[in-house]
């Protein structure tokens, strides 16, 4: 790893640390105000980029800032060659083209009735119980279930798979060798499940995405290898899971603190999509994206060397007052054109139309089926893993009359 020059701002910024999780927005504001492109000594050393201008410039410049070493610091416990996020153009586009068809706005709109029914069934279950946890019982369940539906997996298996993902992602930055060994074992198990599904589709093709990735030629006329297939399916499952969960619970927390906004959204449902965009701007479901420098380059006033790691902090860019006046203020109708909540550039979120739909359907179902619901914010637990995204681990809630 190269050492930065003497003039470089040096920090021990660690997005996976407990100190960051305690006050993420303040920590990022301090960094952004003093040195928007700084060298962090954490995790072996990396450039940390926190202002909007340089985050969008860097993420758009895939030729200089490559994804091919994986988009996370440290590496994702389920692998670093995920398809398509760990590829640059032109290979990236070949993979993405296949997946785009399944996540286009038109395709997601076509699936709305089935997704709506799935969400409503989950929420109706909460109504029957009268008290529940919005994280474990709704936010963590519906995105994974919908993704498994698009892939064509048995919805009954969703909890088992979601549990495995949750544990490993929680332990991503845990240095304990035993914990990392357990993560490795879960990764092996996960991949066995994927290959089992793929084998089934090769014998019995169906109209689902699993059949496409298991049987159809993708890149240069070749079928995906078993490894590539796993790298693709793992990503589809992981990418939409915590992110959508975090977005939903952040919105609920906001509405609990601001009953006037809750009333407005309930009475004017057309405002829900804007509210979702504004909440994910402030409470980033994905904190940051890592890239690796391909060639010596001057960027943001520093000299970066080939091979350097960089971390583009979306959570910080979305709080940059130069891009968003009064950035901490929730303004339901704010222009979202500059928001990097779904990323920026060729890797911009594949599932963004799906995420928007799931979130809207969840909010509508909660308003319709859980009238007067109350969240016990004092008992809600924010995640200690803000380095991945702004997540809640727990958000207890109940219908009126039962605490």
Site of interaction with another protein (CB under 8 A) = 56, 59-60, 89-90, 93, 96-97, 100, 104-106, 337, 344-346, 348, 350, 352-353
Rounded distance between C-alpha atoms, residue 339 and residue 342, angstroms: 8
Tally of CB atoms within 10 A around 258 = 12
Which residue stretches of 158-225 are H helix? Answer: 158-170, 177-203, 209-215
Nearer to another protein, 93 or 217 (CB): 93
Rounded distance between C-alpha atoms, residue 319 and residue 99, angstroms: 31
Shortest separation between residue 60's beta carbon and another protein, angstroms: 5
Of 379, 341, 403, 126, the closest CA to residue 253 belongs to 379
* Torsion sign (Cα): 284, 229, 193, 100: positive
Shortest separation between residue 383's beta carbon and another protein, angstroms: 28
Shortest separation between residue 87's beta carbon and another protein, angstroms: 13
The torsion angle over the Cα atoms of residues 276, 280, 281 and 286, rounded to 10 degrees, is: -160
**Tokens describing residue 276:** 């979702």
Shortest separation between residue 322's beta carbon and another protein, angstroms: 15
Categorise residue 152: left if φ over 0, alpha if ψ from -120 to 50, beta otherwise. left
Shortest separation between residue 265's beta carbon and another protein, angstroms: 20
Nearer to another protein, 79 or 285 (CB): 285
How many residues does this entry show for the chain? Answer: 403
Nearer to another protein, 237 or 350 (CB): 350
Shortest separation between residue 346's beta carbon and another protein, angstroms: 4
Cis peptide before 18 (omega within 30 of 0): no
Nearer to another protein, 9 or 346 (CB): 346
Contacts with 205 (C-beta within 8 Å, 6 or more apart), sequence order: 211, 215
DSSP state of 137: I
Which residue stretches of 15-103 are H helix? Answer: 18-22, 24-34, 52-60, 91-103
CB 40 within 8 A of CB 16: no
Nearer to another protein, 105 or 257 (CB): 105
Rounded distance between C-alpha atoms, residue 348 and residue 341, angstroms: 9
Nearer to another protein, 211 or 339 (CB): 339
Nearer to another protein, 77 or 84 (CB): 84
Shortest separation between residue 168's beta carbon and another protein, angstroms: 29
Nearer to another protein, 24 or 240 (CB): 240
**CA dist 261 → 139, 244, 251, 273, 379 (Å):** 20, 20, 10, 13, 22
Nearer to another protein, 106 or 156 (CB): 106
Token pair 């190269």 is found at 2
Contacts with 381 (C-beta within 8 Å, 6 or more apart), sequence order: 392, 393, 394, 395
Shortest separation between residue 174's beta carbon and another protein, angstroms: 34
Nearer to another protein, 283 or 344 (CB): 344
Shortest separation between residue 70's beta carbon and another protein, angstroms: 20
Shortest separation between residue 8's beta carbon and another protein, angstroms: 27
Tally of CB atoms within 10 A around 158 = 21
Nearer to another protein, 185 or 335 (CB): 335
Shortest separation between residue 100's beta carbon and another protein, angstroms: 5
């Amino acid at each position: 790893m190269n050492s930065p020059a003497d003039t470089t701002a040096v920090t021990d910024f660690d997005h996976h640390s407990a100190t960051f999780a305690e006050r993420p927005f303040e920590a990022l504001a301090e960094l952004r105000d003093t040195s928007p492109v700084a060298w962090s000594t954490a995790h072996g050393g990396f450039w940390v980029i926190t202002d909007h201008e340089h985050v969008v410039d860097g993420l758009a410049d895939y030729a200089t800032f490559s994804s091919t070493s994986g988009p996370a610091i440290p590496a994702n416990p389920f692998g670093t060659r995920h398809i398509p996020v760990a590829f640059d153009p032109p290979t990236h586009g070949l993979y993405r083209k296949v997946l785009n068809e399944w996540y286009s706005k038109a395709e997601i709109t076509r699936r709305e009735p089935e997704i709506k029914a799935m969400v409503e069934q989950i929420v109706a279950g909460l109504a029957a119980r009268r008290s529940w946890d919005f994280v474990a019982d709704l936010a963590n369940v519906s995105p994974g279930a919908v993704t498994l539906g698009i892939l064509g997996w048995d919805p009954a298996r969703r909890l088992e798979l979601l549990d495995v993902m949750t544990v490993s992602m929680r332990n991503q930055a845990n240095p304990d060798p035993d914990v990392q060994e357990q993560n490795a074992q879960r990764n092996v198990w996960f991949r066995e499940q994927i290959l089992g599904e793929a084998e089934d589709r090769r014998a019995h093709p169906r109209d689902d995405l699993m059949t496409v990735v298991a049987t159809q030629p993708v890149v240069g006329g070749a079928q995906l290898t078993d490894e590539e297939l796993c790298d693709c399916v793992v990503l589809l499952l992981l990418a939409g899971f915590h992110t959508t969960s975090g977005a939903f619970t952040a919105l609920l927390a906001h509405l609990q603190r601001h009953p006037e906004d809750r009333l407005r959204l309930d009475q004017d449902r057309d405002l829900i999509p804007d509210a979702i965009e504004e909440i994910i701007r402030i409470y980033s479901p994905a904190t940051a994206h890592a890239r690796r420098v391909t060639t010596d380059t001057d960027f943001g006033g520093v000299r970066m060397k080939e091979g350097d790691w960089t971390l583009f902090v979306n959570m910080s860019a979305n709080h940059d007052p130069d891009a968003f006046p009064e950035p901490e203020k929730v303004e339901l109708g704010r222009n979202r054109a500059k928001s990097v909540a779904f990323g920026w550039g060729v890797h911009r979120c594949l599932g963004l139309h799906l995420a928007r739909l799931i979130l809207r359907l969840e909010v509508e179902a909660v308003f319709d089926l859980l009238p007067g619901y109350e969240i016990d914010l004092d008992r809600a637990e924010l995640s200690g893993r803000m380095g991945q995204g702004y997540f809640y681990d727990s958000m207890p809630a109940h219908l009126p009359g039962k605490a």
